[in-house]
Chains A and B, each alone.
Chain A
Amino acid sequence: MVAPLSWYLFLGAALFGIGFFGVLARRNAVAVLMGVELMLNAVNINILAFWRFVRPDDPTGQIFSIFVLAVAAAEAAVGLALIISIYRTRRTVNIDEIDLLKH
């Protein structure tokens, strides 16, 4: 094995933290979705690292990460469609200005 399990876990943790920052700190809704994608990638790295290092004989880890991939694709499609729909009616994709539910 190339690297110990902890390296992959640290990498996943760092990627997750960066994605978390992107989700909460960005103004643009598309950029927020990019942050979500980063977080999902970090989760997948963790799942596959545990699959490889703890149970390589059981395909469950890989199957689970394929489910994560499929749900991420669905999330991206619906999220971006929502953003385009909001842009059509409000002419903005700035998260701070999308406050219909507040008023």
Chain B
Amino acid sequence: MALQILFLIVAILTLGSAIGTVIARNLFHAALFLIGTFAGVAFFYVLLQAEFLAVSQVVVYIGAIATLIIFAIMLTRSVMGREAGALNQWAGIVAVASALIIAALIWLFTIVKFDVNPQPVPDDAIAQIGKGFVSTYVIPFEVVSILLLVALIGAIMLARERHQ
């Protein structure tokens, strides 16, 4: 029961900071709210007993992506002052559309019955992930490695200062 209440509190905090991310006028505040959301999501990974993913979430999202976003905000900073507003002229319509999407998804999840399997998570769940990467999923794993390398080189090429 206590954990259910904790779930609801963290869910409200996560969604609240997600809303803060999308409406905050100051981009730095948006980035800090984003970090809060990532931390909340990591908490839900722990609740789902996906410990490895929770650690990856903290390392990759909070450690790397959030830092990258803050760097990008600082490098493109002069824009922030003369920004007329954080949201564009279609914000009202988009808000209605996203509310409709949320309502439709929640309606869908209430009417569809998933066959829940009450099994516990195996003790070697993390070992299974490692084995999966070198057996069944070896080709996607290698493709993702190449994708990351290409993205890295591409990012350096794109962001590099060009000297004619």
Which chain A residues have a beta carbon within 8 Å of chain B's beta carbons?
1-3, 5-11, 13-22, 24-28, 30-31, 33-35, 37-38, 41, 44-45, 48-57, 59-60, 62-63, 65-67, 69-78, 80-85, 87-88, 91-96
Q: Which residues of B131-164 have CB atoms within 8 Å of chain A's CB atoms?
A: 131-133, 137, 140, 144, 147-148, 150-152, 154-159, 161
Chain A residues lying within 8 Å of B140, measured Cβ to Cβ, are 67
Shortest C-beta distance, A47 to chain B (Å), equals 9
The CA-CA distance from A24 to B101 in the complex, in Å, is 13
The binding surface of chain B is classed by DSSP as helix
Would you call A25 and B105 a contact (CB within 8 A)?
no
Q: Which residues on the A side are within 8 Å of B64 (C-beta)?
A: 73
B106 at the interface (CB under 8 A from A): yes
In the complex, residue of chain A having the shortest beta-carbon distance to the beta carbon of B31: A34
**Contact of A6 (CB < 8 Å), options: B76, B85, B109, B120:** B109
Q: Do residues B30 and A27 form an inter-chain contact, with CB atoms below 8 A?
A: no
Shortest distance in angstroms between A75's beta carbon and chain B's nearest beta carbon? 8
Q: Interface code B47-60, partner A: CB below 8 Å = 1, 0 otherwise?
A: 11110110011001
Q: In the complex, which residues of chain B have a beta carbon less than 8 angstroms from the beta carbon of A74?
A: 147-148, 150-152
A56-B121 contact given A11-B14, A78-B155, CB 8 Å threshold: yes
Q: Is the CB of B151 within 8 A of A5?
A: no
Chain A residues in 8 Å Cβ range of B56: 66, 69
- Residues of chain B with a CB closer than 8 A to A45's CB: 41, 44-45
